[in-house]
Chain A
Amino acid sequence: MSINDNLFVIIMASAIFYGTPLVFASLGELLAERSGVLNLGVEGMMLLGAVAAAWVSTNVGGPAIVVLPLAIVAAMIAAGLGASIHAFLTITLRVNQIISGLALTIFAGAAGLSSYLAGIWQLGQTPVKQQFGKIDVFGLTDVPVVGPILFHQTLLTYLSWVLVIAASFYLFRTRAGLHLRAVGESPQTADSVGISVSRYRYFHVIFGGSFAGIAGACFSLMIVPTWVDGMTAGQGWIALALVIFGFWRPDLTLLGAYLFGALSSLGLTLQARGIHISTALLTALPYVMTIVVLVVVSNTASRRQLGAPAALGKPYEREER
């Protein structure tokens, strides 16, 4: 047995593989929430993305280098369209964000629109034609420990790292990012200095939603890889918890996603080695931590310190200024 067969390496490699859709979904939700809009439609948008990506991969001919990016774009558009419904309802019509988000998940999610489209398109009988396989980066796969963990993942994982870095830079190092945070903190103030609250909110809800589409594509092009009804199996809800868990910061959210990924495969890996710890307990652990974080941020002062957008969930009405 080589060093790369040990439990730690196996679990870390699998944590990153299975954490990848969570990184995309929670990063997108983070952008929306930073603008002050909570979107509970992540699960539904993920399934829209998954079905669109599966369709492209199954029906568009050509080499993988063309088809796979197309599939990702299709996933982003499909989920972005879903997000635009939420954006219109909550930003223009100022509908309750929780209700609108839930409606989006029910409408688009399992046994909803995504399943309906898959039925029409006859997806799910066979695996998708083109999929994201693990690649060997710079031939470093066999390097002890870090090889399998960092250099033997799929392109989607590397894309997620690029996006996390870009989002961190955007949020904390650019003018637009500053404006975005202002809109999420105090839309009145932002408005008074001439920042268009609704434009910022529209853009980030829709663009963030399209990230959920990539997360869905991770399932239908990388993990399973075929279309299966309701294939995201609740991961969209975990992504929502992760945003809180990561204090609305891209880097911490990524770590949280991998922690969720690790704990969810840890139970099975231990079981296969004859160690019996309740799988249910292990998978529940991250939620316990999320509850702890929720308790911490429930206090207004600590909320501000930890980065919770102060205007999160509140519709902005200019007249009430």
Chain B
Amino acid sequence: MVSQPSNTRRRLRFAGVAAVAVLAVVSLVATACSKSSSSGSSGGTVKAAWIYVGPVNDGGWTQAHDAGRKYVETKLGSKVKTTYKENVPEGPEVAQVINDLIKDGNTVIFATSYGFKDAMQAAATANPKVKFEMATGDSITLGQKVASNYNEFYGAGEDSLYITGIAAGKATKNNSIGVSAPFAIPEVIRGINAFTLGAQSVNPAAKVNVVWTKTWFDPAVERKSAESLVAAGADVIFSHQDSPSAGEVAKAKNLPWFGYDSDQSGPYSSVWQTAGTYNWGPFELSELNKVIDGTWKQNNYYGTIADNFAGLAPYGSTVAAATKTLMDAEITKAKAGKADAFGWYWGLADRQDQDGKTVITKGQTLTMKDLYTMSYFVKGTTGSPKG
């Protein structure tokens, strides 16, 4: 440099740096703008907090969880004060979010994404007075050591998918059903297997073609995957992610479409079939009631259709009446069972994997551990269960 920067320029530089700093702060505030909502009064109330991975209006997973929170609020009124944090990334931030929530006086924490599990377990050990509820966690089932104030809950979404599979098996004309799936993890694999078995229960020739998108959320990739399935011959589409972009493909080609997590029928009523859905509220309500009357303990909950945890979105208008009857019959069967009974269909016959090896024998009942470790596709599925 030849000349010393003048004062004006130094000031300008400073203003620039300050402006960048302000921008950064504003954006952080905008990020952390996880709106808190609360109801009820203080004193004699239990404070409960929900941690979400997405925004509350995502039209899918997080929205369903927030519906659970609202349900709890409505049912418990002034006995509960709820808060939520949305858009929390699955990373080191979670621990900080949990700590902040505990500092704010929350005594029950519901975390709703698998990636929050480690932070939840660590926080449970460090805060024995707080109850930690981890949705989709599998540590207790898999026999890993966790603190006694840490609980896990999920449910038989695959049972709903078995029933949606029936509709898919009936809807396909060329026996080729396309599934756009996120990640090759047991949760998704058992859902696809149940879906395939449901389709084959009414249409033994039905084949299910799986394409992995390697994302829970990327509208463009989801759309591409649906297009690639159609191009490969599928005439029914099931998208195992939330964004409606696969529905666009189905609508454009007028092919029956199954969604996931929620009723996405609205603009796609011409092709909408149904979706497996989760109903988190009743379980969360019963947990909070137990906290209030002091009877809470770890229970490793797995909800079913019988106890209204797992369900189906309203059927689309293009689902045939005879198909609806078949599906309703299965729902009736599921509801007639015990409240904690799930997976009535797995052992209806000997089941083979893609290589023809028998993986389930007739009459066998699968345990939660079997479900949480499922890593094979049943016969009739194309695609690799390894992703």
A residues within 8 Å of B by Cβ?
5, 10, 14, 18, 85, 89, 92-95, 99-100, 103-104, 106-108, 111-113, 115-116, 119, 122, 124-127, 219, 223-226, 228-231, 233, 235, 264-265, 268-269, 271-274, 276, 279-280, 317, 319-320
Contact = CB atoms under 8 A, between A and B. Distances in A.
Contacts, number: 143
A235 B221 CA distance: 11
B244 interface: yes
B13 A229 contact: no
A94 B6 CA distance: 14
B12 to A, nearest CB: 5
Interface string B215-249: 10111110111011101101000000001110010
The secondary-structure label for the interface of chain A is helix
Interface string B20-47: 1001101100110100000000000000
A125 B267 CA distance: 10
Given A89-B16, A89-B20, A233-B219, A224 B57 contact: no
B31 A224 contact: no
Nearest to A109: B27
B336 interface: no
Nearest to B12: A93
Given A223-B245, A269-B232, A320-B2, 17 more contacts: A18-B220, A93-B13, A100-B20, A104-B23, A115-B55, A125-B59, A126-B267, A223-B223, A224-B223, A228-B243, A229-B87, A231-B219, A231-B220, A233-B221, A265-B228, A268-B225, A272-B231
CB-based closest 6 A-B pairs: A93-B16, A95-B16, A107-B27, A272-B232, A272-B228, A224-B219
B248 A225 contact: yes
Interface stretch (B111-119, B205-213, B300-308, B322-330): B205-213
A198 to B, nearest CB: 13
Nearest to B34: A111
A228 B20 contact: no
B30 A271 contact: no
12 contacts: A89-B19, A94-B12, A111-B30, A119-B55, A124-B58, A223-B223, A224-B244, A229-B55, A265-B224, A269-B228, A272-B225, A274-B382
Contacts of B23: 85, 103-104, 106-107
Contacts of B232: 269, 272-273
B15 interface: yes
B1 interface: yes
Contact of A95 (B19, B87, B214, B229): B19
Contacts of B15: 93
Given A224-B243, A273-B232, A113 B27 contact: yes
A272 B229 contact: yes
Interface of B: 1-3, 6, 9, 12-13, 15-17, 19-20, 23-24, 26-27, 30-31, 33, 54-55, 57-59, 87, 178, 209, 211-215, 217-221, 223-225, 227-229, 231-232, 234, 243-245, 248, 266-267, 382-384
Contact of B27 (A93, A112, A265, A279): A112
B266 A224 contact: no
B221 A320 contact: no
Given A99-B20, A107-B27, A116-B30, A271 B248 contact: no
Nearest to A104: B23
Contacts of A280: 214
A179 B383 CA distance: 55
Contact of A268 (B20, B27, B224, B234): B224
Contacts of B12: 92-94
A241 B304 CA distance: 48
Contacts of B384: 276
Nearest to B56: A119
A226 B1 CA distance: 52
Contacts of A106: 23-24, 27
Among B31, B231, B243, chain A packs the most CB atoms within 10 A around the CB of: B231
A18 B249 CA distance: 14
A40 to B, nearest CB: 12
A112 B31 contact: yes
Contacts of A268: 211, 213, 221, 224-225, 228
B58 A229 contact: yes
A108 B214 CA distance: 26
Nearest to B2: A320
Contacts of A100: 16, 20
A267 to B, nearest CB: 9
B218 A226 contact: no
Contact of B211 (A122, A271, A319): A271
